[in-house]
Amino acid sequence: MSEARTINGVVIDDTFAEAFPMKATRLIITAHNITWAYHAAASATGFATSVIACGCEAGIERELSADETPDGRPGLAILIFSMSGKELAKQVERRVGQCVLTCPTTAVFAGIAEGEAIALGKNLRFFGDGWQMSKVIAGVRYWRVPVMDGEFVAQETTAVTKSVGGGNLLMLATDLDAALRAAEAAVQAMKRLPNVVMPFPGGVVRSGSKVGSKYPSLGASTNDAFCPGLYGLAAKSELTPEVRCVLEIVIDGLTEADVGAAMRVGMQACIEIGSAGGMLRVSAGNYGGKLGPFHFHLHKLLDAGGGSA
């Protein structure tokens, strides 16, 4: 905080977000109309806020128009991130099997072509009990599984790519309304960018964590240094008395540049609200730079528009 920068009354801390390598894939879910595509995508990306207990982090990347999808129907692109390719494969199979196969009218396709292949419809096809059909079209194998509304079509595999998870911004504001306003504006700006998702509810997390706990069985616990309710109580606080609410946005992206770009537009949205709107400071979470290889320095992002590993 020694060389914090102030823009439009908002202090940008001289700190960095620390992010980690992850494995990711993109799936394209199409349906008879966008409503049913949303039902499937919301279900498939549900309970996927943090790898700590969900197995993956996932979100809806964007809507796809009919001319952008392989089957000419409206659809959605979703991104799923895990800590390993093996865990990602498990999550993809479970989520597509329980949330997309089951959803009326849907079909699912790989959204990334290059990379190690993991099963998409490859094992789900056995739901067809022998009635499933394979179709190779333009060198790509699809499985057609008979279901009660017709047939479920799934591409055999999807590709896994290296990615970056855990980019983050902390928004410190005068009150809850101001913090929510800033967080919502930042998430909205980030959602306009490709290749990123903000996996927490509404893209925002209130329970920022630190490594470790007084309880030996817990690996993470509340980030007391950023809890306004503990100001004056906790031995160390990162806050000042004016800060009454802190919210965080976590960003997962396919590349370091994607995460950096999302953090930059998020910060710019906060700056636009300014101190007049109750936005006081922007900070970021890190572990001293010793755990994650990707460091997104807030000042560098604002200056140059990219993170540095």
The residues that touch other proteins, with contacts defined as CB under 8 A, are 30, 70-73, 107, 131, 133-138, 142, 144, 150-151, 153
Of the two residues 30 and 195, which places its CB atom closer to other proteins in the complex?
Answer: 30
Distance (Å, whole) CA 108 – CA 158: 10
At residue 191, the 3 state secondary structure works out as helix
CB 117 within 8 A of CB 83: no
Q: How far is the CB of 41 from other proteins (least distance, A)?
A: 17
Q: How far is the CB of 132 from other proteins (least distance, A)?
A: 9
Which of 68, 160, 65, 145 lies closest to 106, judged by CA? 145
Please say whether the dihedral angle defined by the alpha carbons of residues 74, 80, 85 and 89, taken in this order, is positive or negative.
negative
Q: How far is the CB of 108 from other proteins (least distance, A)?
A: 10
Of the two residues 138 and 233, which places its CB atom closer to other proteins in the complex?
Answer: 138
Helix, strand, coil content of the chain in percent (nearest 5) = 30, 35, 35
Of the two residues 91 and 158, which places its CB atom closer to other proteins in the complex?
Answer: 158
Question: Which phi-psi region, left, alpha or beta, contains residue 20 (left: φ > 0; alpha: ψ -120 to 50)?
Answer: beta
Of the two residues 20 and 143, which places its CB atom closer to other proteins in the complex?
Answer: 143
Residue 71 carries which side chain, given as an amino acid letter? D
Of the two residues 70 and 260, which places its CB atom closer to other proteins in the complex?
Answer: 70
Distance (Å, whole) CA 94 – CA 124: 9
Say how many C-beta atoms besides its own lie within 10 A of residue 233's C-beta: 9
Q: How far is the CB of 149 from other proteins (least distance, A)?
A: 8
Of the two residues 38 and 143, which places its CB atom closer to other proteins in the complex?
Answer: 143
- CA dihedral defined by 50, 55, 56, 59, rounded to 10 degrees? -80
